[in-house]
Amino acid sequence: MIHGNGPGPAYPTRVAAQVASGIGFIDGGLIFVRRDTVRGLTTAASVWVSAAIGLACGAGAPELGSTGLLLELCVTFLLPTVSADCSLSSTRVTD
């Protein structure tokens, strides 16, 4: 849980806003554009998802964070394999 150390109340929305601001700044350095190619989008998206998982766990919702982690792992590691298999099977020529 997010608790304040000062005399006033703690505002979890302020923490989330600062995390979003910081991650946006970091992601600006992760995405590179050269000529007609863009690199770093998957890395930038993974950083955003990791921040969201951390916020969910910090806000006291570890079940939501765990579910998000499992979804991220499936999308990051399993989806490219399935996508490659689908594109290979659709380009085969049969007689």
Model confidence over 20-73: pLDDT tens digits? Answer: 888 888 888 888 888 888 888 888 888 999 999 999 998 889 999 999 999 999
Tell me the three state secondary structure of residue 44. helix
Q: How far apart are CA 44 and CA 23, in angstroms?
A: 9
The residue count of the chain comes to 95
Tell me the three state secondary structure of residue 22. helix
What's the pLDDT at 38?
82
Q: How far apart are CA 61 and CA 36, in angstroms?
A: 41
